[in-house]
Amino acid sequence: MILGGTIHKRTHFSDARMVSRFQSIWGGAEQNQAAPHANYTTEAEYEETVVENNQTRVIRRKRDLQVPVPVSSSKIDVKLDLDHRKKGLLWYRTYTVAFAGEYGFRNPDMAGPHRLSVVFVLPGEKAVYDGLTVTVNGEQRHVTVAGNVVSVDVPLAALEGVRVGFSYKSQGLSQWRYNFGEKVNAVKDFQLRMATNFTDIDFPDDTLAPTAKRRNNSGWELDWKYTNLLSGFRIAMTMPEKLQPGPLAAEISFFAPVSLFFFFFLMFIITTLRGIDLHPMNYFFLAAAFFAFHLLLAYMVDHFDIHASFLIASVVSVGLVASYMRLVVGPRFAFREVAAAQIVYLVLFSYAFFFRGFTGLAVTIGSIATLFVVMQATGRIRWSERFGAAAPPPVPIQ
């Protein structure tokens, strides 16, 4: 229990130390790309009431008015490439994203031309963006960049439409999101196609599920298509987690007393059936060799692959137990009964933690199977005779 708590503390200390470094070097905790917004400036007249020399009069004034222009169509391609990176006891869900969107806008004013300002907000200021390109009707344009805001001006005649493209490559952690704006938004003629290089896809809560999906050789192709959508939800993808060495080693260590109980229980039954006498000191050394597995695993997963660490720790622990019992009882009993029992209750029970969601079921099946075997093997034993106290010697008659 102390070892499990130590691993747990080391894991969280490592995560708190590393995550900020990852966010500053690799990218933000998640990429959240927002849909662009556009507007044009026009003059608007308004009336203002003023009082001069005790007289009230109305003055007409002019001011600049920002008129928002909605997105008329969206065609977006997103490619997510997952590339886990390990630091200490944890794997981090790092990925690269290639984003390319083409958006349609139209001057809604039939009275005359306007200069449309199209604004794209990048997911964050502390991130890397490579190959940032903005096009207007297929032609690359010069853009204005201020922080994480990219803008381009497009002159449009009355009721004229335009296609504005926006693309870049970047990096992120954990999740990628696309939002249509704050609160509830109306989206017209929308299409987003996402390609992944992983198969274990997962969508966070309060997000839109794809309208179509197809498997390919490397992952999935996902489509979101809407003609006229009204929603406050987003489109998002959660990157799949890799098996985490730190939490896994902590769980196996916390479970160690249960494994040892099953191992000792079976040893007790077998030695009772065979008439083998084991001293409490023998059980002490068996327990020490048993827990050598957990100690070695806990400090190997920092530096080696989790599967290789598990294999090495298993071989060391089973070798310690079998070599010791060879001296105590004999080689046949040590390598057949004892080693086999340790492989089942230490190695296989611990390996069940590699299969998320099936650990409890695997341990339960193993426990019931053990109960069945022990009950069948001991069903004809008269326990009162086996553990009964020896009859006292007769007292001679004086």
- Per-residue pLDDT for the chain (398 aa), expressed as one digit of tens each? 777 777 767 666 555 556 666 666 666 667 899 999 999 988 777 677 777 777 777 777 777 788 889 999 999 999 999 988 877 677 888 899 999 999 999 998 888 888 999 999 998 777 888 999 999 999 998 888 888 899 999 999 988 999 999 999 998 888 999 999 877 788 899 999 999 999 999 999 889 999 999 998 889 999 999 999 888 889 999 999 888 888 888 888 888 898 999 999 988 888 888 888 889 999 999 999 999 999 999 888 878 888 999 999 999 999 999 999 999 999 999 998 899 999 999 999 999 988 877 888 888 998 899 899 889 988 888 878 777 655 456 666 65
Q: Which two tokens stand for residue 324?
A: 């010791």
Q: Is residue 10 part of a domain?
A: no
Q: Which two tokens stand for residue 203?
A: 């969508």
Whether residue 300 sits in one domain with residue 249: yes
Instruction: Give kind and range of the element (H or E) at residue 197.
Output: none
Q: What are phi and psi of 152, to 5 degrees?
A: -145, 140
DSSP state of 301: T
CA distance 185 to 192: 16
- Where residue 340 falls (left for φ over 0; alpha for ψ -120 to 50; beta otherwise) is alpha
8 A C-beta contact, residue 79 and residue 57: no
Angle, CA 204 vertex, CA 199 and CA 205 arms, to 5°: 145
DSSP state of 302: T
Q: List the domain range (segments joined by +) for residue 307.
A: 245-385
Q: Which of 186, 210, 238 is the last residue of a domain?
A: 238
- Residues in Cβ contact with 297 at an 8 Å cutoff, skipping those fewer than 6 apart: 249, 252, 253, 309, 310, 313
The total domain count for the chain is 2
Whether residue 102 sits in one domain with residue 35: yes
Residue 184 pLDDT: 78
Q: Which of 203, 238, 273 is the last residue of a domain?
A: 238
Q: Is residue 308 part of a domain?
A: yes
Task: Give the model confidence (pLDDT) of 369-398 as tens digits.
Answer: 989 988 998 888 887 877 765 545 666 665
